Amino acid sequence: MNKPLRRIAIFCGLLVLALLVRANWLQYVDADELNTNDKNRRILIDRYASERGNIIVDGNPITGSVKTDDTDFAYKRTYVNGPMWAPVTGYASQAFDANQLEKLEDGILTGNSDQLFFDRTMAMFTGDKKKGGNVVTTLSGAAQKAAFEGLGRKKGAVAAMDPRTGKVLALASTPSYDPSSFAGNSDADTKAWTTLTSEDNKDKPMLNRALREVYPPGSTFKVVTAAAALEHGKVDDINAPTDTPEPYTLPNTRTVMKNQVSGCENATLKKALEVSCNSVFAKLGDDVTRDKMLETAQKFGFNNAELDTPVRAAESRYDKTMDRSSNSLSSIGQFNTAATPLQMAMVAAAIANDGKLMKPYMVDKLVAPNLDVISQTKPQEMSRPLSSENAQLVQDMMENVVENGGGRKAAIGGDVKVGGKTGTAQHGEKNSKRPYAWFISYAKTAEGSPVAVAVVVEDSDASRGDISGGGLAAPIAKDVMKAILDK
Catalytic residue check, 186: no
Q: What pLDDT does residue 433 have?
A: 60
Q: What pLDDT does residue 31 have?
A: 60
Q: What pLDDT does residue 28 have?
A: 66
Mean pLDDT of 408-431: 83
The Cα 314–Cα 143 span in angstroms is: 23
pLDDT tens digit string along 104-115? 999 999 988 777
Q: What pLDDT does residue 427 have?
A: 52
3-state DSSP: the chain helix, strand, coil percent, rounded to 5?
40, 20, 40
CA distances from 307 to 14, 189, 233, 242 (A): 50, 32, 29, 36
In the structure, what pLDDT confidence band is assigned to residue 225 with cuts at 50, 70 and 90? very high
Is the predicted pLDDT of residue 220 greater than 60, yes or no? yes
Which residues have a Cβ under 8 Å from the Cβ of 252 and sit 6 or more positions away?
323, 324, 325
Annotated catalytic residue: which of 93, 113, 180, 219? Answer: 219
Is the predicted pLDDT of residue 155 greater than 90, yes or no? yes
The Cα 236–Cα 285 span in angstroms is: 15
Nearest to 41 by CA among 117, 91, 78, 94: 94
pLDDT tens digit string along 183-195? 999 999 999 999 9
Is the predicted pLDDT of residue 428 greater than 50, yes or no? no
Is the predicted pLDDT of residue 12 greater than 90, yes or no? no
In the structure, what pLDDT confidence band is assigned to residue 461 with cuts at 50, 70 and 90? very low
The Cα 168–Cα 156 span in angstroms is: 18
Q: What pLDDT does residue 353 have?
A: 98
Sign of CA dihedral 358, 364, 366, 368: positive
Q: What pLDDT does residue 467 have?
A: 39
Q: What pLDDT does residue 64 have?
A: 96
**Burial of 403 per CB tally in 10 Å (0-12, 13-18, 19+):** middle
- CATH number of this structure's domain 214-486: 3.40.710.10
Mean pLDDT of 280-293: 98
Q: What pLDDT does residue 20 have?
A: 81
Mean pLDDT of 354-378: 95
231: number of CA atoms within 13 Å, CB side? 26
* Mean of pLDDT over the chain: 90
Q: What is the pTM of this model?
A: 0.90
In the structure, what pLDDT confidence band is assigned to residue 122 with cuts at 50, 70 and 90? low
The Cα 481–Cα 146 span in angstroms is: 9
Alpha helices in 263-376 (DSSP H): 269-275, 278-288, 290-300, 324-330, 341-352
Sign of CA dihedral 483, 143, 355, 213: negative
In the structure, what pLDDT confidence band is assigned to residue 21 with cuts at 50, 70 and 90? confident
